[in-house]
Amino acid sequence: MIVNFPSELPTGNWVISLGVFDGVHIGHQEIFRQLTRLAKEHDAQPAVLFFSPHPKSIVAPGSEPKAICTPQHNIRLLNQAKIQNLIQFPFTEELAKLNPSQFIETYFWNAKATFKAFCVGQNWRFGYKNSGTPQTLQDICSPHGIQTTIVPSVLLDGQPVSSTRVRNAIAEGDMTLAARLLGRPFDILGTVIHGHRIGSTLLDYPTANINVNNRILPPFGVYAARGKLDGDKSLDGIAYVGDAPTIRDDSKPEIIVELHLFDFNEDIYGQELAIQFIEHIRPSRKFKSPQELQAQIQADIQKARQLLTTA
């Protein structure tokens, strides 16, 4: 079930987690485990409320971080974390002006549902100018007999896990750290679109292209990768992120993300594809000719096959 507001939840007992939850990393996953525990304790149903779009895109347009996942991808990850009840809360300028008490009173106290508990991470902030803390939420809810569980940050290598840390690992090309933070390989989910067909015609290595608007990307280069089509089993391949300097028209630079799957030759246009980035192989660079690039791709494939046998 996906609704937009808490008032749309059906009658009954509910426990709620609130946040942005971009990427659904291992810190978020711990919050969801605590949420599930609370639901059992209170004989309630668990639900996750996440804001869309990112609050910073409304409060300070242009300052919002690039997304780790699209909303569609995030919903899939939440479902995989066994969270089936979702509140995809539309973040607006009006919402940003509400102080913490006004936010809770406006959207929770008048709902049909009965809220038994809230579950939030220790660094969660809400209300006008992020003035509300988990303790604020506890102070608001306590007089109503509603429990607030504050989940400590999960630590990895002695540092808190956060979406910012995930983005930094991806931006630095550290796919191993990104995978440890996420609890899975970093992947990009999208629909296969038509590219310029250069991979299949000029280079003899057909690729699947996906749209990656406003998402965090690893550094330009070639990666050992895996692809998942419509949620099916993984297929090994190599992924490229960059602006194709050897073959593009310099007057029209365009960032592309494409995947060549090994031993695969099917028409997958329009299908949903997840590209998992396993390990960086080499940076993107301009070659003297398409033939030189083609020879390098052959070497990249050999390297990727070796890496993926142990990954």
pLDDT at 245 over 70: yes
pLDDT at 202 over 50: no
pLDDT at 241 over 60: yes
Residue 248 structure tokens: 């593009």
**Model pLDDT, residue 2:** 95
Distance CA 119, CA 142 (A): 13
pLDDT at 199 over 70: no
Identity of residue 290: P
Nearest to 31 by CA among 22, 19, 23: 19
Distance CA 223, CA 221 (A): 7
User: Given pLDDT bands bounded at 50, 70 and 90, which one contains residue 254?
Assistant: confident
Higher pLDDT, 263 or 15: 15
**Model pLDDT, residue 233:** 75
Mean pLDDT of 250-263: 83
The pLDDT > 70 percentage for the chain reads 94
Q: Does the pTM exceed 0.85?
A: yes
**Model pLDDT, residue 200:** 45
pLDDT digits (tens, 9 = 90+) for 22-41: 999 999 999 999 999 999 99
Strand partners, 68: none
Query: Which 3 state secondary structure label does DSSP give 95?
Result: helix
User: Given pLDDT bands bounded at 50, 70 and 90, which one contains residue 144?
Assistant: very high
Domain annotation for the chain: domains and CATH numbers: 2-151 (3.40.50.620), 185-310 (2.40.30.30)
Q: At what angle do helices 134-141 and 100-107 cross, to 10 degrees?
A: 50
